[in-house]
Amino acid sequence: MSRILRIFTITFLPLLTLVLGWQIGVAMEQQGVRELEENLRILYTGQSGSGILMDDPEKNVNPAIMWGVWRLLQKNYITPERLKTQEMLYGAVGGLVAALGDPYTVFMTPSENEDFHESLEGKLEGIGAELTLREGDVIVVAPLKGSPASEAGLQPEDIIVKVNDKEVEGQTLAKVVEQIRGPKGTSVHLSILRSGEDELLEVDIVRDEITVPSVEFEVKKTATGSVGYIALNQFGDGSIGEVRRALESFKQEDIAALVFDVRYNGGGYLEGAVELSSFFLKDGKVVSVQRRSGEPVHHYVSGHVLVPDLPIAVLINEGSASASEIFAGALQDHERATIVGKKSFGKGTVQEVFDLPGGSSIRITTAKWLTPNGRDLGSEGIIPDIDIDRTREDREKKRDPQLDAALEWLLDGEDVTKKM
């Protein structure tokens, strides 16, 4: 089996592996009923045949217990047609992983794994929102730009309480996502808890095919000069190449500065964040990866700088996560850019994706991110240099005070928050 697909910085979707289950099965066949009885005695009484109390699960774990339960269900459950082996196995594996309480460490069934990769490629059907699980709540990380979720007014930090009037409390993230997703043209009703609101917000969203443009760019002409504007909506396949082409196109324009927009960008590939930062930094560290043991592994710029000196402002908000935070944090620590907007989401852990048999996979948190100056992105996030909000009313009226503040700072050199 392939050890790693890639290193990710994401958020989305909630083992005993198939191999482990098979090995236990063989052992049980060989050792027979006596061992099964012993395992069941441990399961029900907490004691082994020798009378030793199994009071320290860290030292006395016996995975054969699961196989014993499996056998009991197969033999005794009243409705045998409901004993679907594959679904039961996936449920056992998913429960094992979910017990960690880490929303970013998830087991993905073949269909969830396929959806995961399609989302990175910018293709899926649904409402177009990135979700995570935090302390049992299903939280909106970011609505994708131009998606039904965005058009319906979903915001970062919204809590999804009900889907189609059914409570989601206690459900896994994968189960909630499964209920929200659906074919293009169908609708889903969400009950939303939002900070500052006294009552639940009831929202109907018509699902659509979600095609996320990775990069959008233009030249914004003002009375005091022209500024290149690039919006990076995700760190997906081909995104960095698109940014490179946008930067190359700006060489034909007489721009005085650059605005780089990673608002609502929930992240993607680590190497994408490093390569993107390398476009603007001449040298130095981009990010450090701190694993469970050993010294941090440092990632440095590639040396392929494209824009070494042009003034830059980076736009962030509560939906900027993971790779977006790495990029903004690197430019902020090197004093290469001014960060404008609201504090980022604070998704500062590393996930590695491992392929499993049958098309399933597991995404495991293996490390955390540190900025060049050693800031822990997971606990601190990115604090903007210019703190300015964009309200729901601003969005509805097509106003963008965060972009306006960035343009004024770049062209006039003034912190607009001091004039408000």
Give pLDDT, residue 13: 30
Asked if pLDDT for residue 286 goes beyond 80, the answer is yes
Give pLDDT, residue 117: 76
* Six-digit token string for 64: 């054969």
**230 and 192 in one domain?**
no
Give pLDDT, residue 119: 65
Mean pLDDT, residues 177-189 = 91
Question: Which of 177, 211, 245 marks a domain boundary?
Answer: 211
Give pLDDT, residue 44: 43
State pLDDT tens for residues 189-228.
999 999 888 899 999 999 998 876 789 999 999 888 899 9
305 within a domain of the structure (yes/no): yes
CA distance 302 to 307: 13
CATH of the domain at 256: 3.90.226.10
Mean pLDDT, residues 89-107 = 89
Among the ranges given (117-131, 168-182, 387-401), the one the predictor scored with the smallest mean pLDDT: 117-131
Give pLDDT, residue 36: 43
Kindly list the distances between the CA atom of residue 102 and the CA atoms of 133, 136, 233, in Å, as whole numbers in the listed order: 8, 10, 25
Give pLDDT, residue 32: 40
Sign of CA dihedral 156, 162, 164, 168: positive
Global pTM value: 0.70
Question: Which of 211, 241, 257 marks a domain boundary?
Answer: 211
pLDDT bin (cut points 50, 70, 90) of residue 384 is very high
Question: Which DSSP string corresponds to 370-420?
Answer: E-TT--BHHHH----SEE----HHHHHTT--HHHHHHHHHHHH---GGGG-
* Six-digit token string for 251: 């060489």
**172 and 23 in one domain?**
no
Give pLDDT, residue 178: 84
Give pLDDT, residue 116: 77
Asked if pLDDT for residue 18 goes beyond 80, the answer is no
Cα Rg, the chain, nearest whole Å: 25
Asked if pLDDT for residue 142 goes beyond 60, the answer is yes
Give pLDDT, residue 123: 60
Asked if pLDDT for residue 250 goes beyond 50, the answer is yes
Task: Give the number of domains in the chain.
Answer: 3
Sign of CA dihedral 370, 375, 380, 383: negative
2 within a domain of the structure (yes/no): no
330 within a domain of the structure (yes/no): yes
Mean pLDDT, residues 373-399 = 91
Question: Are 71 and 32 in contact, with CB atoms under 8 Å apart?
Answer: no
**328 and 295 in one domain?**
yes
pLDDT bin (cut points 50, 70, 90) of residue 39 is very low
CATH of the domain at 152: 2.30.42.10
279 within a domain of the structure (yes/no): yes
* Six-digit token string for 140: 């909106």
Asked if pLDDT for residue 46 goes beyond 50, the answer is no
**411 and 378 in one domain?**
yes
Q: How many CB atoms lie within 10 A of CB 397?
A: 9
Catalytic residues: 322, 333, 347
**197 and 102 in one domain?**
no
Q: Which helix (H) or strand (E) holds 14?
A: none
Mean pLDDT, residues 127-139 = 87
State pLDDT tens for residues 299-347.
999 998 999 999 999 999 998 999 999 999 999 999 999 999 999 999 8
Quote the mean pLDDT of the chain. 83
**220 and 205 in one domain?**
no
Among the ranges given (37-51, 87-101, 172-186, 375-389), the one the predictor scored with the smallest mean pLDDT: 37-51
**128 and 79 in one domain?**
no
Adjacent-strand bridge partners of 362 = 107, 354
Question: Which of 72, 106, 140 marks a domain boundary?
Answer: 106
Higher pLDDT pick, 273 / 35: 273
pLDDT bin (cut points 50, 70, 90) of residue 31 is very low
**377 and 330 in one domain?**
yes
Residue 302 CB-density burial (10 A; 0-12 exposed, 13-18 middle, 19+ buried): middle
Give pLDDT, residue 120: 63
Mean pLDDT, residues 230-236 = 89
Domain extent for 166? 123-211
**164 and 82 in one domain?**
no
pLDDT bin (cut points 50, 70, 90) of residue 38 is low
